Structure 1
Amino acid sequence: MQMQAEREQAAAWFRTLRDRIVAAFEALEDDGPRDLPAGRFEVKPTQRGEDGGGGLMSVMRGGRVFEKVGVNWSAVHGTLGLAAQQAMAARGVPGIGDDPRFWASGISLVAHMRNPYAPAVHMNTRMFWTPGAWWFGGGTDLNPCLELPEDTQHFHDTLRLACDPHGPDYYDRFKAWADEYFFIPHRGRARGVGGIFYDDLNTGDWQADFAFTHAVGEAFLPAFLPLARRRMDQPWTDADREAQLIHRGLYAEYNLVYDRGTKFGLATGHDAEAVLMSLPPLAKWV
């Protein structure tokens, strides 16, 4: 089960999506409030430890609209360590103990906004391959510090439209999974207003599963950009900024303690700076 052509197709799509999002975010910066220079991404190649592959880390800091945003792409391969093998075996990945080689590619995005009324957002889609199995995973979720119901509605409506052609239960099932996954047990609360999340997606039809993952990626900009544009000029107060910084503390706690992608990236030797680009530039705990 080498799937070389499929792996190349998936990696190329994730790279294309990365390029489109970076261009769209820089265009939004050009239209943002004029009190600061328009932000631009700094792009840095990344390497994965002593095994193989790497990617691109693209980070913008101190922009007009984005206080910090990272859009990473990677295509990596190597041998899974024992802890990663055990975690995947516990999830039912076939043959992982017999041959621990792997290949993975994906895009990972986290945006922390300057205006407290503009919601932070996360998006990730990926393909994972081992000699015994392949699957897709990912999703996107919205993380406002000051929730605005119309923004939440738009985000979820856009995701439902993306999901429905691929499975009548996909939106409801993957929304429920996001509600469970993006929950902070030690705080007893969600980290945001949800979205969709899925993992280990293998229906036996690679093209169908890739088409769904493609649709999730395509839905991201229509789901998020209108919200960022609508809120980037909205007046805010010191109290709003305080609420934003405290909410970012919750986000950092989740990513460091629970996030599956963060754990995998650090455990498998990927560039630590790229793995931790999701952390906010400033946060606060009280």
Structure 2
Amino acid sequence: MSEQFDEHKMRAAAWFRALRDEIVAAFEALEDAQATGPLRDAPAGRFEVSETRRQSEDGSDAGGGLMSVMRGGRVFEKVGVAVSTVHGRLNRRAQAAMMARKDLPGMAEDPRFWASGISLVAHMQNPHTPAVHLNTRMFWTPHGWWFGGGTDLNPCLPRDEDTADFHAVLRAACGRHDPAYYPRFKAWADEYFFVPHRGRARGVGGIFYDDLNSGDWEADFAFTREVGRAFLPAFLPLVERRRDMPWSEADRAAQLAHRGLYAEYNLLYDRGTKFGLETGHDPEAVLMTMPPLATWP
């Protein structure tokens, strides 16, 4: 069983890295495409890539990954794409948080873990182009394994057409695996990406799932790959539709205010942010999702 999961871990980590490479290439191609909008004369943006490392509590190496960040492009004001594979022992706080969500007998005695995944957040130059988030991951402990992730759209100026097209791609992707997945994971996203202290959602939703373990690792991994493959077809057409639209000062003000909402959610509620900081991962990579500029009332 251990050898089988070693192979599973390698396959999952390789997939997340391949997805990262595909997305980075697609985003740089967007920057290179001929532009006619307000930023048509700006230089095309490029990703800056750096290695990230995780240190365990005793200071030993515990894995890491790549952080790719583009700032100030024609299309993207800031976009980060991070991929990592980390391992070690969960501290007591992380153990308690995990055991509160699932039955993991023995976790306190053997808190080893392994995790690999990709995380992406894009904050756009044009206020008419929606921001977007993607995350997929695999988590393993000696007491169980699971997949999680999803993607959601975060426009400051929502349009029904964009929302419908984004969700249509996700519905089709989910339907290729289980017709119950889309309504279930859409509802989960609506609940998960809600900002309680503001009494509103942070965007127009998408899909979210966690603790996915049907008992069939191959099926669950295939679904997680499907979610990753659906991201670019769901998002790129919206960017191409909106990237060259003119915007006003009021549009920009709405964008910066919405980014404030996004930052509040990520710092106060996002499970991935909390886990990354509590388990010693590189804080620059964990906080890569934060917007470059934001405003509050």
TM class, shorter-length: over 0.9
Is structure 2 residue 17 aligned with structure 1 residue 6? no
Is structure 2 residue 58 aligned with structure 1 residue 48? no
After superposition, the CA RMSD in angstroms is 0.8
From 207, 230, 233, the equivalent of 2:218 is: 207
Is structure 2 residue 138 aligned with structure 1 residue 127? yes
Matched AA of 2:140: W
Q: Are the aligned partners of 1:52 and 1:77 in contact in 2 as well (CA < 8 Å)?
A: yes
From 36, 41, 63, the equivalent of 2:73 is: 63
Q: Are the aligned partners of 1:69 and 1:111 in contact in 2 as well (CA < 8 Å)?
A: yes
Displacement of 1:229 in angstroms is 1.2
From 85, 93, 97, the equivalent of 2:95 is: 85
Q: Are the aligned partners of 1:159 and 1:223 in contact in 2 as well (CA < 8 Å)?
A: yes
Is structure 2 residue 84 aligned with structure 1 residue 74? yes
When structure 1 is superposed on structure 2, of 42-51 and 137-146 the one drifting more is 42-51
Aligned partner of residue 260 in structure 2, secondary structure: helix
Q: Which residue of 2 aligns with 1:115?
A: 126
Is structure 2 residue 164 aligned with structure 1 residue 153? yes
Return the alpha-carbon distance in structure 2 between the equivalents of residues 254 and 146 of structure 1.
18
Is structure 2 residue 28 aligned with structure 1 residue 17? no
Q: Which residue of 2 aligns with 1:34?
A: 40
Displacement of 1:34 in angstroms is 2.2
Q: Are the aligned partners of 1:146 and 1:243 in contact in 2 as well (CA < 8 Å)?
A: yes
Q: Are the aligned partners of 1:88 and 1:96 in contact in 2 as well (CA < 8 Å)?
A: no
Return the alpha-carbon distance in structure 2 between the equivalents of residues 97 and 146 of structure 1.
46
When structure 1 is superposed on structure 2, of 212-221 and 163-172 the one drifting more is 163-172
Structure 1 runs of 4+ aligned residues shifted over 4 Å read: none
Q: Are the aligned partners of 1:58 and 1:71 in contact in 2 as well (CA < 8 Å)?
A: yes
Aligned partner of residue 134 in structure 2, secondary structure: strand
Q: Which residue of 2 aligns with 1:273?
A: 284
Return the alpha-carbon distance in structure 1 between the equivalents of residues 284 and 180 of structure 2.
37
Return the alpha-carbon distance in structure 2 between the equivalents of residues 153 and 98 of structure 1.
47
Displacement of 1:167 in angstroms is 1.0
Q: Which residue of 2 aligns with 1:221?
A: 232
Structure 2 unaligned residues grouped into runs of 5+: none
Displacement of 1:93 in angstroms is 4.1
Aligned partner of residue 48 in structure 1, secondary structure: strand
Aligned partner of residue 140 in structure 1, secondary structure: strand
Aligned partner of residue 133 in structure 2, secondary structure: strand
Aligned partner of residue 176 in structure 2, secondary structure: helix
Q: Are the aligned partners of 1:115 and 1:234 in contact in 2 as well (CA < 8 Å)?
A: yes
Matched AA of 1:46: T
TM-score, normalised via structure 2 length:
0.95
- Distance change in 2, residues 1:46/1:93 (3 Å): farther
Q: Are the aligned partners of 1:121 and 1:140 in contact in 2 as well (CA < 8 Å)?
A: yes
Tell me how many residue pairs correspond in the alignment.
Answer: 286
Q: Which residue of 2 aligns with 1:139?
A: 150
Residues 211-254 of structure 1, C-alpha deviation per residue, up to 9 Å, x if partnerless? 00000000000000110111110111000000000000000000
Residues 148-174 of structure 1, C-alpha deviation per residue, up to 9 Å, x if partnerless? 110000000000000012111100000
From 216, 241, 245, the equivalent of 1:234 is: 245
Identical aligned residues as a percent:
74
Return the alpha-carbon distance in structure 2 between the equivalents of residues 210 and 250 of structure 1.
32
TM-score, normalised via structure 1 length:
0.99
Is structure 2 residue 241 aligned with structure 1 residue 261? no
Return the alpha-carbon distance in structure 2 between the equivalents of residues 171 and 271 of structure 1.
33
